């Protein structure tokens, strides 16, 4: 069965967390909205012409007649099928909880450039974005990174992975978060990173996975840009 991923073309965005899992597993999938006529197919689902399981927003995944929406839900669905989460139910719910904390982290990263509302331009909220980004870098960024460093340090099987003794979709998402933060806030990250040695090791490990390495150097991996979640606005990359 071919998985059909639906997400906006032109950005990594939230869809990228799903792509990394599909790519690592070598899964058979189509990135529908990047194909000819694909955006129209995506809009049909969003407008209720694809059955009653209407997604609120991309990304969503279809698998046969099932429609699964929200990144964390998609990864929770794919995890056991792609062998990217330990087999027991306890681990499924623990992994999903970690992924939902990553979801919250990503929302806060996004909101550094959109504190007043997602429907308006960054240029119309630059003053407020600078305040919010400053507070984010000072307190929220360290809080989230310390949390995940601590999750790695507390793993009973060792600090190489978030859950259990081998790669999971949570590890892949943590890699992507660090990639994105380095792009968006290079100066801040240079100061913060040395405090999180386990996260840095995990990032380097994921980057060297053969399927991930092949994906990152392929045309399927888009570059970061200022339409996605992780945006590099030098004025927000402040010394706090």
The residues binding its own copies (CB under 8 A) are 48, 52-56, 60, 65-70, 72-73, 76-77, 90, 93-94, 96-97, 100-101, 104, 107, 111, 115-120, 128, 131-132, 135-136, 139-140, 144, 147, 150-151, 154-156
Burial class from Cβ neighbours inside 10 Å (0-12, 13-18, 19+) for residue 221 reads middle
Residue placing its CB nearer to its own copies in the complex, 163 or 181: 163
Residue placing its CB nearer to its own copies in the complex, 47 or 208: 47
Q: Is 70 left (phi over 0), alpha (psi -120 to 50) or beta?
A: left
What gap in Å lies between CA 6 and CA 105, rounded to an integer?
A: 22
- Phi, psi torsion values for 183, nearest 5 degrees: -70, -45
CB atoms under 10 Å from CB of 174, counted, come to 25
Residue placing its CB nearer to its own copies in the complex, 13 or 55: 55
For residue 219, the minimal CB distance to its own copies (Å) is 30
> What count of Cα atoms within 13 Å lies in the side-chain half-sphere of residue 85?
25
Q: Is 26 left (phi over 0), alpha (psi -120 to 50) or beta?
A: left
For residue 143, the minimal CB distance to its own copies (Å) is 9
What gap in Å lies between CA 185 and CA 132, rounded to an integer?
A: 14
For residue 214, the minimal CB distance to its own copies (Å) is 30
For residue 161, the minimal CB distance to its own copies (Å) is 12
Q: In what order do the strands lie in the sheet with 29-31?
A: 29-31, 3-6, 60-63, 66-69
For residue 146, the minimal CB distance to its own copies (Å) is 10
The encoded tokens of residue 114 equal 């959109």
For residue 118, the minimal CB distance to its own copies (Å) is 8
For residue 76, the minimal CB distance to its own copies (Å) is 8
Residue placing its CB nearer to its own copies in the complex, 144 or 169: 144
What gap in Å lies between CA 96 and CA 103, rounded to an integer?
A: 10
Q: What is the torsional sign of CA 30, 177, 85, 55?
A: negative
């Amino acid at each position: 069965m071919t998985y059909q991923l639906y997400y906006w073309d032109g950005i990594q965005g939230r869809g990228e967390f799903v792509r990394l899992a599909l790519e690592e597993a070598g899964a058979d999938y189509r990135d529908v909205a990047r194909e000819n006529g694909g955006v129209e197919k995506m809009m049909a689902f969003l407008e209720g012409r694809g059955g009653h399981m209407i997604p609120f927003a991309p990304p969503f995944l279809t698998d046969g007649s099932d429609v699964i929406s929200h990144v964390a839900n998609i990864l929770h669905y794919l995890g056991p099928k792609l062998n990217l989460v330990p087999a027991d139910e306890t681990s499924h719910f623990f992994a999903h909880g970690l992924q939902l904390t990553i979801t919250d982290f990503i929302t806060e990263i996004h909101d550094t450039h959109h504190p007043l509302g997602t429907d308006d331009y960054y240029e119309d909220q630059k003053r407020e974005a600078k305040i919010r980004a400053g507070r984010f870098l000072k307190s929220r960024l360290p809080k989230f990174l310390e949390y995940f460093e601590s999750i790695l340090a507390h793993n009973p099987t060792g600090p190489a992975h978030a859950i259990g003794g081998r790669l999971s979709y949570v590890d892949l998402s943590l890699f992507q978060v660090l990639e994105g933060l380095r792009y968006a806030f290079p100066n801040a990250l240079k100061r913060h990173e040395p405090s999180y040695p386990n996260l840095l090791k995990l990032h380097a490990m994921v980057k060297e996975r053969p399927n991930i390495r092949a994906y990152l150097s392929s045309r399927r991996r888009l570059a970061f840009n200022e339409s996605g979640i992780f945006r590099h606005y030098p004025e927000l990359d402040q010394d706090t």
